[in-house]
Amino acid sequence: MRISELAARTGVPLATVKYYLREELLMPGRATSATQAQYDDAHVRRLGLVRALAGQGLPLDKIKVVVALVEDPGEDLFVALGKAVMALPPYPGSLSGADDSADAEYPRTRALLERLGQLYDPRFTAVAQLERALAALDSAGLTMSDRRIDVYGEHIRGIADLDVDLLPTTSRQETVEAAVLGTALYEPVLAAMRRLAHQHRAARTFSTAADPGSSGCTQPDRHPQETQ
């Protein structure tokens, strides 16, 4: 297809497609004349990847890291996956806080992962990310109980195992691409699903209204009371 058709099919403005070509985020098409080139499904997929990452707020240099890893994952797929996911936000710089120097050893994260018996690479950005999140809990006067660590750990592992099971294994490129997209794009899905599950549960636990309709909850087939 021609570049105008590529833009139309992906919904990415033509000027943006040309910009991605110049920045080498999109690989060149097959030249058919001095001024024209042909594009194919690989370009459609690449545009989908770049747009999804840009939509997550990734800066251009980080998108380049991911694209380079998708193009050439190298020998060890595990290492490529780690590098690609480390290009995703939040970045260590944005995780800074007053007590960062004291937390360089990530004591809270280490204790949590040791309790769960999980392998981890201390250089992985998620380690610093978890430490910051646990420090924020501490300073709000909340501390994660062992029960919460165990239950969260069990369910999160159930989710993560499915994520890895569902990764395509047709090619290393596709695996890295799917891992990056899956990490970035399912995080907001899971956060919203948790809030909705709270509402579902709280509607049954806390509603004091005599009229079940007053909770504002909607469910097509069943009446709120019937699900209790």
Q: Name which of residues 104 to 143 contact a second copy (CB under 8 A).
A: 112-114, 117-124, 126-127, 129-130, 132-134, 136-137, 139-142
Angle (CA) 19 20 25, round 5° = 155
Taken as a whole, the chain contains a residue count of 228
CB nearer a second copy, residue 28 or residue 152: 152
1 binds a second copy (CB under 8 A): no
91 binds a second copy (CB under 8 A): no
- Note if the bond before 28 is cis, omega within 30 degrees: no
What's 220's DSSP letter? S
CB nearer a second copy, residue 104 or residue 160: 160
Is the Cβ–Cβ distance between 16 and 6 less than 8 Å? no
Cα 187 vs. chain centroid, distance in angstroms? 5
Of 145-184, binders to a second copy (CB under 8 A) are 145, 147-148, 151-164, 166, 175, 178-179, 181-183
Minimum CB–partner distance for residue 4 and a second copy (Å)? 19
210 binds a second copy (CB under 8 A): no
Residue 168 φ/ψ, nearest 5 degrees: -70, 145
Of 33-62, binders to a second copy (CB under 8 A) are 45, 48-49, 51-52, 55
